[in-house]
Amino acid sequence: MLRTTVNRCFSRFGYFRAAYQEADAEATARANERHVEKREYEGGSTTITHFPGIALRQNARWLALATIDAFFSWTEHVFIHIAILSGNITTGLEVAELAESDWQKKFKFALDLNDTITKSLFDQLIDIRRQLRNFVAHGAFGKQGEAFHFHSGAGAVPVLLPHQVGKSRFTLSGDFAFEESAALAVIEEFIRHLWSGGREPAELYIQKTQLPMILTMAADGAFAKAMSSVEDMRVRRAANVAV
């Protein structure tokens, strides 16, 4: 019998996603807002202008990073659950070995990369994951060289190191355009795809119940049989609840 924190992980993802959406909406609504403060002092005065939208946008970006991180944390768990329900792993040893494997291997045990849509989403998620790992592991120091600025009479100009310039669609940096909306759109598309087709019954068992994974049911094919349809999984779920 196997229990994991898969539902709590998804709840954490949902919490940060909602917080990001709220922060993003506020940042957009207040993008042109400015507060002008004039301060008098002996011999003159000065005017200070504040743009709250700048800080709000940065807060939204941090929340986007937290959302993406929570998503990958959830998938580390949910891929193992899907692999068990599908009969791809059936023993405690196999579960332990897969749990210690990298994210890509977990993905391949849960989904078929021969499917064109799956492969496209896999490639995009790998790109996002790589960018996130580089960004966090290096203390938000851009791996494309974007953390540097050249200061001149024209002001601060971002400098890229030519040998590090890549073609990544997602740039997790403070100064370059962090396409958080694009990254999160891919994640949303993947979640819809994950629970579609032959994996739809798995959503019923994994996301809509707190029931454990019973490895003997994976070994004897009971879970694989229940994956035949949502109705079959509904029957299996009811039987496990009764137990």
User: Where do the domains of the chain lie?
Assistant: 6-29+52-142+168-198
Confidence of residue 88 (pLDDT cuts 50, 70, 90): very high
pLDDT at 53: 83
Is the predicted pLDDT of residue 174 greater than 70, yes or no? no
Please give the residue that has the higher pLDDT: either 82 or 34.
Answer: 82
Residue 107's pLDDT band (cuts 50, 70, 90) = very high
Average pLDDT, the chain: 82
Instruction: Decide: 113 and 119 in contact? Cβ < 8 Å.
Output: yes
Pairwise CA distance, residues 103 & 115, whole Å = 18
Instruction: State the residue for tokens 């939208």.
Output: 53
Rounded Cα gap, residues 101 and 53, in angstroms = 42
Q: What values do phi and psi take at 48, rounded to 5?
A: -115, 130
What pTM was estimated for this model as a whole? 0.79
Could you tell me where the DSSP H helices lie in the chain? Answer: 6-29, 52-85, 92-99, 103-110, 116-137, 180-194, 200-206, 215-219, 222-226, 230-242
Between CA 241 and CA 72 the distance in angstroms is 29
Read off the pLDDT of each residue in 86-93 and give the average, rounded to a whole number: 93
Residue 72 has pLDDT above 60, yes or no: yes
